[in-house]
Amino acid sequence: MPAMQQIGAILFALALLHTFSAKTFERLSHRFPRHAGLLHLLGEVEVVFGFWAMVLLVVMAFVAGPQNAIAYAETQQYTEPLFVFVVMVVAASRPVLDFVQRLVDLLSGGRPVLQAWLGLALVPLAGSLITEPAAMTLAALMLAPQIFRNGVPEWQKYAALGVLFVNISIGGTLTAYAAPPVLMVAATWQWDSAFMAANFGWKATLAVLVNASAVTWLLREPLRKGADSDAAAPAARARTPLGTSLIHLAFLAAVVLLAHHPVLFLGLFLFFLGFTSAYPQHQSPLILKEALLVGFFLAGLVVLGSMQQWWLQPIVEGLQPLALFFGALGLTAITDNAALTYLGSLIDGISPQAQYMLVAGAVAGGGLTVIANAPNPAGIALLRKGFRDESIGALGLLAGALAPTAVAALAFFL
């Protein structure tokens, strides 16, 4: 369907433009209160790609026929959006967060600067075990009251957000299953976790530590002032019993192990919902709305992104290894990095050097925009309330991510 491919590319470009102007819609919602509901909806970053995916399917129904539109929608792979939805809800449950907070308190001795550093360094690296979406959820919820709050300058919040997104993107490369762009090529190129640790993991770890240390030093004063104000706050709620936390962690581990089997992890999720209902005294409200919006965003990206292969693959195929690294890094800003590496896996005879450069560029650029890496929409959904107008600007994120992206790129050249 050549005509539909061109229409798909146009709608994809409009979705990108909409993503970069989402903050404008939020401002307009305050200016025009009569239409505030609609403008606020269009200003939700998580809604953008789902909205334009529906536009694509409606246009396809008129151009190619309703049956072709339905067939196209039904033949797409939605495992990743479903997994991100489930893992976000489970990882953000109160017993899991309490367990992680206990661990962070133990390692940090209660010092706020060290707590923030662990949230920006240790948790992203733990993404190699618990997957990147789970790590993003945990890190965002841990860091929100420390950094993404009133009293912290906006530019410092964007600096911290850029570091968090970049560190999550590269922190999952110590294994072969946790980072979506690695997962797309691991089986085809026969990359196992030992290969990832030897070729990517130690470099990613170095970059994560440098990025986290730099931005924590930058934020040292707001972190200390925040700790002083917290000292006068009312006592925190009672923590969850350890046994309940361990059961939730078992649910999380099972979901991660079943990440490629949506029927099984969705069935397990229903058991999880039943368990949380059975012990409401140990629970906080589950983040179902936020997780559903993120799943909607990623599903829309799947529907729209599948239409872009016709122009993306020739670009990837035509680049030499060094150009491929910078090309992948740049293209990641306008498309999902897992989609880029998947296209690379389709190229016959791609050299080992080119394979490395493609994946390294894709993960290094994973923090530049909200669509660059699958877990990013989760971070946006959980942290946007801490920003002005409760909206995260695309240009602010890009500016905040430039320095940590450069550090990651340099590390992968070592």
DSSP state of 280: G
Nearest alpha-carbon partner for 275 in 239, 247, 256, 249: 247
Please state the separation of Cα 325 from the chain's center in Å: 21
Strand ranges, E, within 128-278: none
Rounded to two decimals, the pTM is 0.84
User: Roughly what angle, to the nearest 10 degrees, separates helices 288-305 and 376-383?
Assistant: 140
* The token pair that represents 123 in the structure block: 């948790």
Per-residue model confidence (pLDDT) at position 28:
84
Pairwise CA distance, residues 149 & 160, whole Å: 12
Question: What confidence score (pLDDT) does residue 230 get?
Answer: 55
CA distances to 20, 195, 275 from 25, in Å: 10, 45, 39
64: left (phi over 0), alpha (psi -120 to 50) or beta: alpha
CA dihedral 299→304→305→307, nearest 10 degrees, is 140
Quote the pLDDT of residue 233.
44
The whole-angstrom distance between residue 32's C-alpha and the CA centroid of its chain comes to: 32
Residues 170, 405: Cα–Cα separation, whole Å? 10
pLDDT at 234: 43
Residue carrying the six token digits 């059961």: 247
Q: What is the distance of C-alpha 186 from the center of its chain?
A: 20
Which token pair is 287? Answer: 């983040």
- What's the rounded Cα separation, in Å, for the pair 285 and 263? 25
d(CA 241, CA 151): 33
∠ Cα 169 172 173 (to 5°): 100
Amino acid letter at 225?
K
pLDDT in tens, the chain (414 residues): 578 999 999 998 998 888 878 778 878 887 888 888 888 888 877 788 899 999 999 999 999 999 999 999 999 989 988 998 999 899 989 999 899 888 888 998 889 999 999 999 999 999 998 889 999 999 999 999 999 998 899 999 999 999 999 999 999 999 988 888 898 888 889 999 999 999 999 999 999 999 999 999 999 999 988 765 554 444 455 678 999 999 999 999 999 899 889 999 999 999 999 999 999 999 989 989 888 988 898 888 889 888 888 887 888 888 888 999 999 999 898 888 887 888 788 777 789 999 999 999 999 999 999 989 989 999 999 999 999 878 898 899 999 999 999 999 999 987
133 touches 87 (CB < 8 A):
yes
CA distances in angstroms from 97 to 157, 252, 314, listed in the order given: 22, 12, 44
Residue 227: predicted pLDDT:
61
Dihedral sign of CA atoms 265, 271, 277, 278 in order: negative
Residue ranges covered by each domain of the chain: 1-75, 108-227+288-413
pLDDT of residue 402: 97
